[in-house]
Structure 1
């Protein structure tokens, strides 16, 4: 039976000695099934000279035909190439330190009436708030949508007892440090005389403190319990006190008061609580809108002064980042990401127009910069350095990218993370090469490798704990991850040549390319870089081969899952050449 050439592809041909060659034949059935599963299978090896190999193809057809008829999927790499140590390992579930301590919207409560213990359990049982609908006062932040309505499925809030000295000093971006969105004053008073004598003055003092702070929303909660009504004996009196509170403190047509009427009847009690929670939602959204408008006005004003003397990009960044923090607090991650994208565009525009006078130097000279986890927002006090105008271009670009990735992570978007990472790492690598005279030898290769591996590791953890990704998304993700792994593998080529661990003719040009601009050869790779994995891999030929194979097989698995056959076979050719 004739063997169909469409059912197999030559994996690689390389010289193993005079007159000898080795072909690894990849068996790929026309019907692709179980694409997402990586299986260990056999590879047909043909040895001998070119003419001898041609004569063996007939035997190959007889050998592989049963497999082709059965539709078995064969993974075409040599078992001998894959050490036992390179078997797939369990993915770590330890989260990467991407973000600072989680922040929540804070709602404060003042409790002169000592009624908080009565309502606290019931209120906490109704948190987090759900199904909030926010109408943006700015219109849509999305370029592809004109809808200004945002749905917030879940909003975590933190309840904190009010204190007059709890407000921090005003500063750009202070919303992130003190996210007070709503202040509640709890009242439980059924006597008109008591209200006039003490309660009214207490409420007014509290309102004055809150109103002295910028963009603070407040609400008075009148609590009427069965016990207080029984004690007073006159339900009408309680109602009169509430009416007086509304008359004294409602501002224009804005309702600043809500009544929480507790009852022993579960139905009535639930209805009263629902009204109170709805009022809380409305007040929090109103406060959010005020803060968004304020941030937008401030950032627009600063942006309009861009070409004026004394304008500072770092100050503009902090202000606009405060807007992003506000969106993030409310769970509006897409809108938060838009702010960072606009900041990135503004950075490059400013760099073109005015250079970078706000950055002291390029950077990249701190210990461990070449091996840093670029998604770790805690590695350096980035925001403090921006506030103090002491941040370097290197640290700023890393921080901006890490914030973008964090917001994509919150949206379960590993494909977008990998795709953005590829664009950022490849572009920033060019900047590193342009500034390599101020960096240690092979800094760029070490940084690129470390960055690619950090992003892929983080995305693997995200995918491992999620069950919502479709096969199509997984395929796109594996393809994007393969690009990063392949880029990391390219750095091993350069490092291997520089360390004389990879002296093959196919990479001869790399040895010429990796000469420092000052004319000094970039040797001593192992001592120049700080990435522990790379240092161990460059310790010997065996260690380098082990690392190189590990990255290659990891890349091959991703290429197979994404059905990128051509790239996969080219990479397997490199494996055959290595051996």
Structure 2
């Protein structure tokens, strides 16, 4: 495999010596990093050098013009372990021959290592003559002393040996980097020269591809995975540019083989980091467009996996799938219907299996996001194949479609290598099984959808999950599993309502009604049909049809049961205005309330009874009312209770972990499209929103308030009521009257519009429509009948004026008086009790009395 290749270093001299030191050298060389400073001002890199040490052979020495980087020897070492006499007799001549062979090939990258011992140093001191190391430096390294180094007692473990090893490794790393720089600089110069000739006749992209890929191999060997990846990215971008130019009429000869009809649509294989067979096809310009794209992605993925960036493989795969499909159209490659879908599906699964295998970290949001997108894309391609081959529910395949399935299966290939886990099927086997029968297709399609939905929900992408849920709802409807479809439809409607997309919510309501019709759930169907009939987003024909169905269903329910169905009236009726004739009334007086409301029913509708519950306020609510009343006295125009803010009729159902947009979005967005063309060919297209600054502005960070999802019928023992109320479509005005029989502060709680067994409930507490009931106490006034004043000491006639205030006398009553001494009041016949006639509130009676 490519990531196991290492730069080659040849070894000449004492084979026994090197065999004893080989393991130490191979392990010690990459232990410490070294800084590699490259040319052209590129940032230095810290690399850990490794090498493959092989015996020296003159036949493997490369020529100066050889344009390879991976397989060539980069460095050459001569090992010496002998005394001065042996050096003079044989070793010196062998070194001369060795250096001569290197110079013949213009190879300046070599090093002579002299292994010495402490005994030889002692002898050199006793006998004053030059050592082997001195001889070598004098004979061969007088101008390049860095090309010779002594290694002292390499097999010992003392400090002197360790220091000698350290100096050796430091020297070897430095010289290796110099050798790499020399070769790479020359190679990159040649590569740039080739790239500059790309517009000349006879230039071949695939020959250049192999040439630059050699550089990527070299950088990968040195551990510079990021730099190697850049090489493939540059080749990818260059190919994209050539295809774009071809689409605009600039044809090149080397692109012609890529336009041949597609006969194989195997997905990308990530089982090996380097597919030699596929690379040979690319090298010989025999690869198809899909094969070339598969090879390029496999190499990019191999490098990213080595850098522990599995999430980026998933991210790049989507672009790879989209771009390749566009390139197939641009190059006018003929392929059977469904071939690209098969290729995309197989590639998605292979990448997903590979990403899961190489993802060493926990499932983070970034990894989950891109893998979720791949699961989503794969399930869409499987759905396309299902429609194409009539495997979706309700479809029957024809003979032509059965023949197409056979052709598609044949083009998937029979690759035995895959990264599928033992418990998982290989992508090709999974697709073959999916296309084998409707039952297998159903099982695999539902698995793919659930996998995509689950991953989207994990990262909080509930919108994407709900979109897949809509597809599943349609699928379950076709296979007659309406209960499962209903749950997915309800989830989508809740999401649309939360975000203010009423057009989408009401459109999904139509699907929900069809689902509930199959379930024969008349109660739920009645609510849904009523909602659709009152929708302002749907067509008049749809609303009228569902209004008729609402009335028919209501009649059927009323005939079979006396139970009442309660439903929120948020969509059917809007309160526009509530006004009282007086904000403060006396006990036992009549209060009149005028309510302006808008009916969204498409036709006139007569309700059996309309009621509005009246609730007594608490002390805090009463205090708030008094403050509002004082403001209203200062500003009379505030005595009317205006319509609630827009959007309060929306039912906000709480969805776990869902953060909805708090601002109300419009049902439609105005936008402009711009299309750029060159020579009647599309170059770019753009969509611009005129109100993007408003739609995308930062929303309020306040807590998102939700309205309860359920509503219960209030206590209507005290209420405003009217019978047989006909509401016309649009504006209506209703007047209610009630005699108040309890003092205090009251507010309107809920409106109930009843027709047969359906109760439409409308909460009114948010409107704060309040009124105050005060009590006027009875008042008695005594005055003389004929004079201005009473005289003390004599009996006189008087008039007793009785003002009942807020109270009433239901029948004839007597009044007795408790007076001060020497003062009494009696009836005209002398009785101590005075009789009063029955009368109502605020009545006044004048009774003759004796005082």
What residue in structure 1 maps to residue 281 of structure 2? 385
Q: Does the aligned pair in 2 maintain the 1:258–1:276 contact within 8 Å?
A: yes
Name the CA distance, whole Å, in 1 between partners of 2:280 and 2:208. Answer: 14
User: Are 1:190 and 2:80 counterparts?
Assistant: no
Q: 1:428 aligns with which of 324, 332, 338?
A: 324
What residue in structure 1 maps to residue 378 of structure 2? 488
Deviation at 1:256, TM superposition (A): 0.6
Deviation at 1:114, TM superposition (A): 3.7
What residue in structure 2 maps to residue 528 of structure 1? 407
Q: Decide whether aligned partners of structure 1 residues 335 and 235 sit closer, same or farther in structure 2, where only a CA change above 3 A counts.
A: farther
Name the CA distance, whole Å, in 1 between partners of 2:408 and 2:63. Answer: 43
Name the CA distance, whole Å, in 1 between partners of 2:257 and 2:203. Answer: 19
Q: Decide whether aligned partners of structure 1 residues 307 and 498 sit closer, same or farther in structure 2, where only a CA change above 3 A counts.
A: closer
What residue in structure 1 maps to residue 455 of structure 2? 558
In the TM superposition, 1:23-102 aligns within 5 A as 100=2, 102=4
Structure 2 residue runs of 5 or longer lacking an equivalent are 410-427, 477-851
Structure 2-normalised TM-score?
0.49
SS where residue 524 of structure 1 aligns? helix
What residue in structure 2 maps to residue 340 of structure 1? 232
Q: Does the aligned pair in 2 maintain the 1:299–1:320 contact within 8 Å?
A: yes
Name the CA distance, whole Å, in 1 between partners of 2:392 and 2:13. Answer: 72
Deviation at 1:219, TM superposition (A): 0.7
Name the CA distance, whole Å, in 2 between partners of 1:378 and 1:522. Answer: 37
Name the CA distance, whole Å, in 2 between partners of 1:124 and 1:437. Answer: 50
Q: Does the aligned pair in 2 maintain the 1:108–1:159 contact within 8 Å?
A: yes
What residue in structure 2 maps to residue 307 of structure 1? 199
Deviation at 1:553, TM superposition (A): 1.8
What residue in structure 2 maps to residue 277 of structure 1? 169
Q: Decide whether aligned partners of structure 1 residues 567 and 219 sit closer, same or farther in structure 2, where only a CA change above 3 A counts.
A: same
Q: Decide whether aligned partners of structure 1 residues 338 and 275 sit closer, same or farther in structure 2, where only a CA change above 3 A counts.
A: same
Q: Does the aligned pair in 2 maintain the 1:215–1:290 contact within 8 Å?
A: no
What residue in structure 1 maps to residue 5 of structure 2? 103
Q: Decide whether aligned partners of structure 1 residues 311 and 318 sit closer, same or farther in structure 2, where only a CA change above 3 A counts.
A: same
Q: Does the aligned pair in 1 maintain the 2:11–2:55 contact within 8 Å?
A: yes
Name the CA distance, whole Å, in 2 between partners of 1:289 and 1:168. Answer: 17
Deviation at 1:185, TM superposition (A): 0.6
Deviation at 1:555, TM superposition (A): 1.3
Name the CA distance, whole Å, in 1 between partners of 2:107 and 2:355. Answer: 38
SS where residue 239 of structure 2 aligns? helix
What residue in structure 1 maps to residue 46 of structure 2? 151
Name the CA distance, whole Å, in 1 between partners of 2:36 and 2:344. Answer: 41
RMSD after superposition: 3.2
What residue in structure 2 maps to residue 451 of structure 1? 347
SS where residue 300 of structure 1 aligns? helix
Larger radius of gyration: 2
Number of matched pairs: 453
Name the CA distance, whole Å, in 2 between partners of 1:558 and 1:171. Answer: 54
Deviation at 1:214, TM superposition (A): 5.9
Kindly indicate which of the two structures has a greater share of residues assigned to strand: 2
Q: Does the aligned pair in 1 maintain the 2:12–2:55 contact within 8 Å?
A: yes
SS where residue 11 of structure 2 aligns? strand
Structure 1-normalised TM-score?
0.71
What residue in structure 2 maps to residue 298 of structure 1? 190
Deviation at 1:436, TM superposition (A): 7.4
Q: 2:24 aligns with which of 91, 114, 122?
A: 122
Q: 1:259 aligns with which of 126, 133, 150?
A: 150
User: Are 1:242 and 2:133 counterparts?
Assistant: yes
What residue in structure 1 maps to residue 441 of structure 2? 544
Deviation at 1:478, TM superposition (A): 0.7
User: Are 1:440 and 2:440 counterparts?
Assistant: no
Name the CA distance, whole Å, in 2 between partners of 1:571 and 1:393. Answer: 31
What residue in structure 2 maps to residue 11 of structure 1? none
What residue in structure 1 maps to residue 368 of structure 2? 478
Deviation at 1:504, TM superposition (A): 6.6
Structure 1 residue runs of 5 or longer lacking an equivalent are 1-98, 141-147, 506-510, 512-519
Q: 1:460 aligns with which of 320, 331, 356?
A: 356
What residue in structure 1 maps to residue 391 of structure 2? 501
Deviation at 1:174, TM superposition (A): 2.0
Q: 1:166 aligns with which of 29, 52, 60?
A: 60
Segment of structure 1 superposing worse, 266-275 or 124-133? 124-133
Deviation at 1:448, TM superposition (A): 0.4
Name the CA distance, whole Å, in 1 between partners of 2:109 and 2:128. Answer: 28
What residue in structure 1 maps to residue 99 of structure 2? 207
SS where residue 69 of structure 2 aligns? helix
What residue in structure 2 maps to residue 87 of structure 1? none
Name the CA distance, whole Å, in 2 between partners of 1:366 and 1:204. Answer: 59
SS where residue 259 of structure 1 aligns? strand
Q: Decide whether aligned partners of structure 1 residues 434 and 123 sit closer, same or farther in structure 2, where only a CA change above 3 A counts.
A: closer
Q: Decide whether aligned partners of structure 1 residues 490 and 441 sit closer, same or farther in structure 2, where only a CA change above 3 A counts.
A: same
Q: Does the aligned pair in 2 maintain the 1:559–1:565 contact within 8 Å?
A: yes
Name the CA distance, whole Å, in 1 between partners of 2:371 and 2:187. Answer: 37
Name the CA distance, whole Å, in 2 between partners of 1:408 and 1:214. Answer: 37
SS where residue 266 of structure 2 aligns? helix
Q: Decide whether aligned partners of structure 1 residues 274 and 380 sit closer, same or farther in structure 2, where only a CA change above 3 A counts.
A: closer
Name the CA distance, whole Å, in 2 between partners of 1:214 and 1:455. Answer: 46
User: Are 1:138 and 2:40 counterparts?
Assistant: yes
What residue in structure 2 maps to residue 361 of structure 1? 257
Deviation at 1:343, TM superposition (A): 1.6
Q: Which structure's relative contact order is higher, taking Cα pairs within 8 Å and 6+ residues apart?
A: 1
Q: Decide whether aligned partners of structure 1 residues 345 and 434 sit closer, same or farther in structure 2, where only a CA change above 3 A counts.
A: closer
Q: Decide whether aligned partners of structure 1 residues 278 and 396 sit closer, same or farther in structure 2, where only a CA change above 3 A counts.
A: same
Deviation at 1:253, TM superposition (A): 4.8
